[in-house]
Homo-oligomer: A and B are copies of this chain.
Amino acid sequence: MVRPQPQLLHPMFLHPLLRAHPDVWAEVSSALRKKNYESNDRVISHGDAAGNLWLVLSGWLKLTRQTPDGKESIIGLCREGDILGEAALFPNASYPYTAEVVGGSAELVAVPATILRDLVAQDSSLSVHIMALLNERTSQAQLKLEQMTTMSAAQRLGCFLLQLCNTQANRTKTLQIPVEKHVLASYLGMKPETLSRSQQQLKSYGVSVAGHNLLIQDIEALQKFVCDSCSESGNCAAETAS
């Protein structure tokens, strides 16, 4: 009987990056650290030396940057299964954003940069996986840029909701988005009042909002409204959600 290595049963191995390469990570599992955070805790700070790669096991984080003239921009929202701090792949790099927990507690795994770089140098399947993650991140950012000009605000909100529905097999879906309105608006590149108007507009496509909860009554109707204005149409995971 083949017995799984006990360390692989640790919940951190549920993260996709660890789950996909169990043998590679098992050897260094004692160096990985699971950490718990509360809402508003800061995990990394923009400009600090990138000492760890971070894997999100649960919770939400906002990634922000500050301009010298005092504006804060939300450059990302991270959730379960995401990675952050990929600057740790490169020697002497610093984090290009601040990451703070939002809307409740969060669990993350810290992978020390030196260990990460050794593993990537030794294991080409891991390095290809990480390249694919980086490439996916570029594609997402480019798609968001495209959508700033090809989509209305309501369509951009709809696209975000469809991405959250991604793993869902039903026609109806309830989403919890534990993120303050101004944070979500900034992430979607719109003003909070535009977000409110967009939520109103999505009602006709079966989306209803109650606080941080959203009910999507007809995923296909929402797709029809959103995806015709997107160049990824026909090639996007969110379209196979229904």
Bound Cα distance A101, B186 (Å): 35
| A175 interface hit (Cβ, 8 Å) | no
Choice from B86, B94, B131, B229 contacting A130 with Cβ under 8 Å: B131
Count of chain copies:
2
Choice from B67, B90, B149 contacting A230 with Cβ under 8 Å: B67
Chain B contacts for A146, CB-based, 8 A: 65, 73, 75
**Are the C-beta atoms of A121 and B124 separated by less than 8 Å?**
yes
**Are the C-beta atoms of A231 and B67 separated by less than 8 Å?**
yes
Choice from B127, B138, B189, B234 contacting A137 with Cβ under 8 Å: B138
**Are the C-beta atoms of A138 and B134 separated by less than 8 Å?**
yes
Chain B contacts for A232, CB-based, 8 A: 65
Chain B contacts for A38, CB-based, 8 A: none
| A31 interface hit (Cβ, 8 Å) | no
Chain B contacts for A189, CB-based, 8 A: 145, 148-149
Chain B contacts for A117, CB-based, 8 A: 128
| A141 interface hit (Cβ, 8 Å) | yes
Chain B contacts for A128, CB-based, 8 A: 89-90, 117, 120-121, 127
Chain B contacts for A65, CB-based, 8 A: 146, 231-232
**Are the C-beta atoms of B46 and A231 separated by less than 8 Å?**
yes
| A68 interface hit (Cβ, 8 Å) | yes
* Chain A interface residue bracket vs B: 35 or more
Interface string of A71-103 (1 = CB under 8 A from B): 101011000000000110110001010000000
| A66 interface hit (Cβ, 8 Å) | yes
**Are the C-beta atoms of B124 and A68 separated by less than 8 Å?**
no
Q: Which residue of chain B has its CB nearest to the CB of A230?
A: B67
Interface string of A123-149 (1 = CB under 8 A from B): 010011011101101110110111011
Chain B contacts for A139, CB-based, 8 A: 96
Q: Which residue of chain B has its CB nearest to the CB of A234?
A: B68
Chain B contacts for A36, CB-based, 8 A: none
**Are the C-beta atoms of A229 and B131 separated by less than 8 Å?**
no
| Chain B CB within 10 Å, residue with most, of A76, A148, A186 | A148
Chain B contacts for A89, CB-based, 8 A: 128, 131-132, 135
A189-235: which residues lie under 8 A (CB-CB) from chain B?
A: 189, 227-235
Q: Which residue of chain B has its CB nearest to the CB of A125?
A: B121
**Are the C-beta atoms of A131 and B127 separated by less than 8 Å?**
yes
Q: Which residue of chain B has its CB nearest to the CB of A134?
A: B134
